[in-house]
Structure 1
Amino acid sequence: MNNVDAVVIASGPNGLVAAATLADAGWDVAVSGGAADARRAVRSAELVPGFTSDLFSVFHPLSTVSPALRGLDLESHGLRWSHAPRALGQARSAAGEDAPVIHPDPADTAADLERRQPGDGAAWSARRGRGRALPLGDAVTGIDVRSGRAVGVRTASGVRYTARRAVIADVSAPALYGSLLPDHAVPACVRADLEHFEWGTPVLKVNYALSQKIPWRSPSLSGAGTVYLGADDRGSPRSAEGTESAWAYTHLPRDITDDASADLLAARVDEVLEAHAPGFSERVVGRVVQRPSDLEAADANLVGGAVNGGTAQFHQQLVFRPGPGTSRSETAPRSARTDRAGGCGGARRAP
């Protein structure tokens, strides 16, 4: 069937949520990309035998409270959320032995903060009919636009799909405006803005397989799902009892994406972890570095290792998406929508 209500380009989390939401509303939806494309930057794998590592995103607080995801009732289809004993810890220095943490119970967090600084605990407490989704199995290479309206897509194999109601692109702004849309459909001002499009700072990620649990200098950090050190580290139970699968990530300076610089920074990450957890290096039985080049090779949206589809500073994608004069998910061609942003909170509702 090559005539559908909507085509979703790329099957990352936001694209899949958009497809499922539209299908629930009775639309016939085609989703581009095969099995290798599905889940995009939300995937896990055994980089070291016996140790499961998350390749990209890891903790998803926005997803657990997302109205879009809640509306899909994914739990009834097998989704199970994994919760760390402590949500987050902040190591204020490598020598600190009593780092503050966020507990699952807000009352416990408030009590711990109150113990550290009278008044902080109280302040913490105060702030406190279905259609069908059809996989195309083929990458989309272009969007057809007629009379200012997106009417369909072309795939790498030459097949055309007509979209009766919408085309939704879960891709970066440069990919949408620079290659998928025809020149005549992109206003000159938008094309000019894209010449100054800024990607985010490159991400470097180091995956560790540990023979024992991380020996944090501060015992309170044991069991924290995320620990802020200047490099983030997360322990995971997805390995043999008594061992640990962990990762750390940090950012390179903007536009520095070469492998040599990434390897140099990865070595520094090892040093930071050793300073906060003496004996850490002795427990490493496997180590895999994901450089910016590796991230982009695994997902074309992660250009130069930038994980948010472009910087989210005020002048670009925080408010103006992708630049001044544009906002929200609408594009110049009517019935085309873009939804590419950091986090896995679900796609915005299509009108």
Structure 2
Amino acid sequence: MTNIIGLRQYLHQHPELSNQEFETAAYISKFIQELQPDAIYNSGSTGKIFLFKGSETGPTVVFRAELDALPIRETNILPYNSQTPGVAHLCGHDGHMAILAGLAQQIAKQRPLKGQVGLLFQPAEEVEQGARDVMESEAFRQLKPDYIFALHNIPGYPLHQVLVRPGSFSAASQGMTVKLTGKTSHAAEPENGLSPAGALARIIESMHLLREQNELFKNLILLTIIHIKLGEIAFGTSPGEAEIRITLRAFENADMDILTQEAISRIEKIAKDEQLTSEFSFSEVFPATVNHTECVRLIEQAAKDHNLEVSHLEQPFKWSEDFGYYTEHIKGGFFGLGSGVDQPALHNPDFNFPDDILSTGIKIFKSIYKKLNL
């Protein structure tokens, strides 16, 4: 495990932002190439897939980790602090990569008998684009995985505890930007223009009411207004344009569809009433990560194989994960791995992945691998 801990700490020292993970991908490639995978493919902007092939017919199983770090300044005092100003691995992707590298070592010692195993190091998870780009890449389409697995360390839970949930594990979310266009006029003659100010007030109220209409939805939804811009700072001008940005979030993909359509419909009606035009655009679109029942059973059994405590979540996590792009099309298993009751929260400037759970993640992945490919 010494070299895996060293790998994790090296990656922590050298973080790279989404779609800029060139050195990270190169370092991982050098490490795993020494284990002689049967094939290496590029996937996504900087992504890599390392393939180990069996001699008999069997399933194609993919294990995934993330390459990217966050644009946040680290406040830890460590012998391996981030050496890139304003960028740090404060979500634990350095640990996730190290776990997958440790799994590669185990697979190299006991290569698959049936099917094939792909180790996917995916770029740009933090900006939602990475998994989508991998899904659309030629290499991944040709691979045609039967199963895909991933984990995420979860602060606030005991070290080594395994967190599982069939169905939705983490929420769907997306950013909605609404542009309202009317007509500017002199501030002394607002009647000669079409100001979006009144529409904004009505939209805010309407969105708050929508958030409270629980009868429309099967599970939790959230609607958060995060930014509003109205006109320019010019006291002689009555504004003719406005922009409102809203984060939509839902535990279930079906609820996200309803929430989105309801929000659009209500805003369009208000804009029409106020004689404004409205335009909608969406960004950072994350589907819900939905676990397949068979994959959850495999994770639970792997945890039991190593006498690990399993916690069954009653509700999905409110945060989003682009792993949902995979689970829309592939049998997927995504689980949490407790990273400490007193561990700072994900994305906090003092977060640091605990090396103690590296071996735990490797053991769980190895057990799943043995059940499907040996």
Asked if these proteins are the same fold (TM beyond 0.5), I'd say: no
Which structure would you say has the larger Rg? 2
Considering fraction of residues, name the structure with more helix. 2
TM-score, normalised relative to structure 1 = 0.32
TM-score by length of 2: 0.30
